[in-house]
Amino acid sequence: MSLRRAWPRLAAAALLLVACSGQAAGPTPALSGAGPESALSGVLEAIEANRPDLAMQRVEALLAAHPNFRLAHLIRGDLLMARARPLETFGNVPKTVPREKVEDLRAEALLRLRALRERPNGDRVPRYVLQLHAGQTHALVVDSRRSRLYVFENVGGRPQFVADYYVSLGKNGVEKTREGDQKTPIGVYHVTANLPRQKLIDFYGAGAFPINYPNAWDRRLGRDGHGIWLHGTPSDTYSRPPRASDGCIVLANADLEAVGRSLQIGLTPVIIADEIDWTDGAALEAERTALAGAFQAWRADWESRDTGKYLAHYAARFNSGDQNLADWSAHKRKVNGAKSWIKVGVTRISMLQYPRESFVVVSFDQDYRSSNLSNVMRKRQYWIKDDGRWRILYEGGA
């Protein structure tokens, strides 16, 4: 007969959820902005503080603004059910409901909460973004395990954390290899187009940004499939479960619009990792300096026309299209021997560590001039640490 009787159990269920989310030691970082996710966190804080009426007020305000936020409906259901009878669990839906439906929402709750409580602080950067070039305003890095997309701004070539968003990924997880495997690829990609809402069906929500899967590395490994996009959410729901897409990266519509404003077609890197490998600025700088030195040595040795020194920058497993190291060496010896001078300018250099692999993708504009031939092109190389020395694994047009 008491409205309060069942309450302590809900608080306990919520606390359990918080505990599962692996709250980091120390103070919780301040939340940025007043989005629905921080509103959700406010609801759970009220539950933790044993203030059910405040929690109800907050969840109802959240639902007034986002009537399709299913997770918020679940929590409102719990808040109401706690008034009727003791709760057994978070998301105390009737036993007749298929388990996976509830598990999806529980998983979303855990991931959102965990992300809010483990936000990157100013000093931590992902290992992948060694250098952005001046024309790139932002880089996106996806942490698959956390269902989270992090946006970094280019400040003097170094990544600076701006914002992060909940994302849904492939039903079958990550490391796409085959068409139809419903997995999200792991790798370094970039957005290739901007498809506005008007050109799409409702399923894609506020818009879509395809990425260049399969990239050169994927093709080299024989991976296939296509149509991996960043896109929005259908109008009947605010968000989708953590593992729901056919491989695409799905954001809430408002989030897609916010991210979309930072994207430059053909330029903005999209790095998809299993779990982001975070490092500090100093360690990243040391790595970048070492690689930049090797890269400049390669350029200088090319200009010197000492083909032996130049070819020493290439790894034994090197390839370029259908050329292996032997083909490449034979070709370069023939071409370079016929020249009286070579000048190689490199600008707009970006360096991105490839997740799961030991190489770094280096992209640059190459201004090549020589006694008998000149050309300007965008080039891509994969640099790998080989016997403790940086060498080129792949080279080709970008």
Partner 1 sequence: MTTFHDPRKALAAVFAVLLAASAAALADDVQDASKLLKSGQHQQALERVNRVLAAKPKDAQARFLKGLIFAEQGNAKDATDIFLLLTRDYPNLPEPYNNLAVIYASQGQYDKARASLEQSIRTHPSYATAYENLGDVYAKLASQAYDKALQIDSANPVAKNKLALVRELVGGAAPAKPAAATVAAAPSPKEPATAPALVAAAEAKPAPEKSAPERPAGATTGNAEVLDAVGAWAKAWSSKNVDAYLAFYARDFKTPGGETRPDWEKARRQRIGAPKSIAVTIEAPKVSVDADGQASVTFRQGYRSDVIKSSTTLKTLIMARSDGRWLIRQERVGN
Structure tokens at 200: 């799409």
- CA dihedral over 237, 243, 246, 250, signed as positive or negative: positive
β partners of residue 377:
366
Half-sphere exposure of 51 (CA within 13 A, CB side): 11
Angle, helix 70-84 to helix 52-65, in steps of 10 degrees: 150
What φ, ψ does residue 59 adopt, rounded to 5°?
-70, -35
Of residues 234-263, those binding partner 1 (CB under 8 A): 236-237
First-to-last alpha carbon distance for the chain, in angstroms, is: 70
| Binder among 54, 61, 93, 162 for partner 1 (CB under 8 A) | 93
Rounded Cα gap, residues 78 and 4, in angstroms: 13
**Binding to partner 1 by residue 4, rule CB under 8 A?**
yes
Q: Which residue, 68 or 279, is less far from partner 1 as judged by CB?
A: 68
Give the pairing of strands 129-131 and 342-353: antiparallel
Asked if 77 touches partner 1 (CB under 8 A), the answer is yes
Which residues, at least 6 apart from 250, have a Cβ–Cβ distance to it below 8 Å?
167, 168, 169, 230, 231, 232, 233, 240, 244
Q: Which of 45, 50, 54, 70 binds partner 1 (CB under 8 A)?
A: 70
**Binding of partner 1 at residue 85 (CB under 8 A)?**
yes
Which span sits near partner 1 by CB under 8 A: 26-34, 66-74, 130-138, 290-298?
Answer: 66-74
CA dist 382 and 273 (Å) reads: 17
Asked if 280 and 125 count as a contact pair (C-beta separation under 8 A), the reply is yes
Of these, 58, 66, 76, 223, which contacts partner 1 (CB under 8 A)? Answer: 76
Among 17, 42, 78, 188, binds partner 1 (CB under 8 A): 78
As measured in angstroms, the least distance from the Cβ of 169 to partner 1 is 20
Looking at the Cβ atoms of 92 and 147, the one nearer to partner 1 is 92
CA atoms 102, 107, 112, 116: torsion sign: positive
Mark 266-305 with x for binding to partner 1 (rule: CB under 8 A) and - for no binding. ----------------------------------------
Distance (Å, whole) CA 224 – CA 384: 24
- Please choose, out of 29-37, 81-89, 299-307, 349-357, the segment that lies near partner 1 by the rule CB under 8 A: 81-89
Of 65-73, 113-121, 182-190, 341-349, which part binds partner 1 (CB under 8 A)? 65-73
Nearer to partner 1, 78 or 246 (CB): 78
Q: Which of 24, 65, 84, 265 binds partner 1 (CB under 8 A)?
A: 84
CB-nearer residue toward partner 1: 85 or 343: 85
Residue numbers of the site for partner 1 (CB under 8 A)?
1-6, 70-71, 73-74, 76-81, 83-86, 91-94, 97, 101-102, 105, 236-237
